[in-house]
């Protein structure tokens, strides 16, 4: 009996897909063609599933877009804030923890970020939500500097400087040789914190990133 039920479930999955499957297809379309390409018919063709199967999981396209925005918020904003709160013995080590977001799409998806920022240019509602997340990320960075006894005004300015450099990289689609960008890391640390990173701090960072 259980085998028959499992077989029936698998048949339904092949006909309907799943919420995650539809969401992943929406994510891929957003990255490839922007929010206008995230259409139920387009996704159905991409997945080789009928439009009606979509409605088993989402009320309408707007609900799917909301889920897509939640996915971005949980991954990019959630992980950014988590990296600002990671254990560090110095402010240099703390900012290097945040730099992990610069280099690891598993932590901070830069293409997803750029797609959301492009979407925000078309939608005041998305622009408002993006501004809220920008503010939350800057607040988290400011708290990082405050934790290491920076004056509140200095903490705010340093946080904004560090944050908008990364936003600039994302928004302008900068492409650098990894070795070049890694060579700049010690100087970025000093610019953002006013401190030189220690050799062992840099070595731990480079090791995490698989750079020698």
Contacts of 162 (CB under 8 A, 6+ apart): 95, 98, 141, 192
Report whether 19 contacts 63 (CB < 8 A): no
- Reported in sequence order, the residue ranges of 140-207 that DSSP labels E, i.e. its strands, are none
Kindly report, residue by residue over 65-105, the tens digit of the pLDDT.
999 999 999 999 999 999 999 999 999 999 999 999 999 99
Angstrom distance (rounded) from CA 24 to CA 29:
9
Kindly report, residue by residue over 111-138, the tens digit of the pLDDT.
999 999 999 999 999 999 999 999 999 9
Cα torsion through 141, 147, 152, 153, rounded to 10: -50
Encoded tokens for 23: 């969401």
- Whether the full predicted model's pTM is greater than 0.85, yes or no, is yes
Angstrom distance (rounded) from CA 118 to CA 133:
15
CA-to-CA dists, residue 106 to 28, 100, 127, 192, angstroms: 15, 10, 24, 24
Task: Please report the pLDDT score of residue 175 as a whole number.
Answer: 81
Residue ranges of domains in the chain, CATH in brackets = 1-58 (1.10.10), 72-208 (1.10.357)
Percent of the chain residues past pLDDT 70, beyond the cut: 92
């Amino acid at each position: 009996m259980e085998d028959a039920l499992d077989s029936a479930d698998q048949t339904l999955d092949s006909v309907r897909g799943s919420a995650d499957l539809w969401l992943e297809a929406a994510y891929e379309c957003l990255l490839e063609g922007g929010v206008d390409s995230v259409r139920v018919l387009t996704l159905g063709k991409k997945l080789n599933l009928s439009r009606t199967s979509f409605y088993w999981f989402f009320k309408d396209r707007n609900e799917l877009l909301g889920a897509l925005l939640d996915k971005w918020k949980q991954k990019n904003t959630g992980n950014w804030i988590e990296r600002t709160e990671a254990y560090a013995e110095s402010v240099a080590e703390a900012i290097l923890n945040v730099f992990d977001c610069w280099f690891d799409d598993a932590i901070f998806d830069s293409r997803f970020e750029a797609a959301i920022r492009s979407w925000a240019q078309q939608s005041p509602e998305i622009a408002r939500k993006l501004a809220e997340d920008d503010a939350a990320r800057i607040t988290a960075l400011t708290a990082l500097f405050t934790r290491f006894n920076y004056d509140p005004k200095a903490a705010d300015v340093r946080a904004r400087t560090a944050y908008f450099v990364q936003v600039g990289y994302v928004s302008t689609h900068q492409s650098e040789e990894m070795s070049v960008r890694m060579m700049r890391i010690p100087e970025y640390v000093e610019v953002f914190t006013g401190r030189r990173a220690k050799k062992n701090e840099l070595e731990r960072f480079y090791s995490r990133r698989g750079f020698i």
